[in-house]
Copies of this chain bind each other. A is one copy, B any other.
Amino acid sequence: MKIYDIVQRSDTTAGRTFDFFVLFLIVFSIITLSIETLPGLSSTTKELLNLSEVVVTVLFTVEYVLRVATAPSKKDYIFSFYGIIDLLAILPFYLALGIDLRSIRVFRLLRIFRILKMAQYSKAMERFGKALSHAKAEALVFPCITLMLLYFSAAGIYYFENEAQPENFPSIFHSLWWAVTTLTTVGYGDFYPITAGGKLFTFLILMCGLGIVAVPAGLIAAALSKVLQEEGREQD
């Protein structure tokens, strides 16, 4: 099957050409999408960008249809990571929805690693996947604990700061934003405690929080360490 070789394989000349054309299209569409957002564009530029958007979307649609048509299992492709991204990137255009998901296309660039047939890359991904499987439960538990800590921090700071700064901490929902920026140590400085109680509470929360934030790094290190060790043993 000719079309199958072009669309699904990347070890033929035609397949590689197709892949690189799609990659080029993705980069092109990301750049036009970004330029589109610049303020003060002339109407000619805007028309050109709109036209290119139509062309790109049509081409992506053709690609999507071809991929579905040639996929060994249509279901597997449609519900795969790339299948969903491919669909989300073109659907809003046809549905004339208010939501713009074109920027999601950037993740299609991940394909570049597959195209380049980097043996090392696939080994890296495999290794990382193994590491994650060693730490699957932890990877599920810690986001939950983080969420609970975030809520508790927000409720606490609301309790301490609401009276002193009613305009900055008007409710627990508003305080959640403070909790997020503080526990991730981003610290924009748009909201911060000013009462002694609030500051002490922030200190205690940060001490716990930084310990919890250190866990993922430690986990990844330990899991990857085990994978590398197992590889070493197999080589012996």
State the A residues within 8 Å of B (CB): 30, 33-34, 37-39, 100, 103-104, 106-107, 109-110, 112-113, 118, 120-121, 123-125, 127-128, 134-138, 140-141, 143-146, 148, 151-152, 155-156, 158-159, 162, 166, 170-173, 177, 180-182, 184-190, 192, 199, 202-203, 206-207, 210-211, 213-230, 232
Contact = CB atoms under 8 A, between A and B. Distances in A.
A202 B180 contact: yes
* Copies of the polypeptide in the assembly: 4
Given A103-B151, A177-B203, A187-B189, 4 more contacts: A103-B156, A106-B148, A110-B145, A185-B187
10 nearest A-B pairs in the assembled complex, by CB-CB distance? A218-B220, A103-B155, A124-B137, A221-B221, A222-B224, A120-B137, A186-B187, A218-B221, A214-B217, A189-B189
Contacts of A192: 181, 188, 190
A49 to B, nearest CB: 13
Q: Is the interface of A mostly helix, strand, loop or mixed?
A: helix
Given A188-B189, A211-B216, A218-B220, A137 B155 contact: no
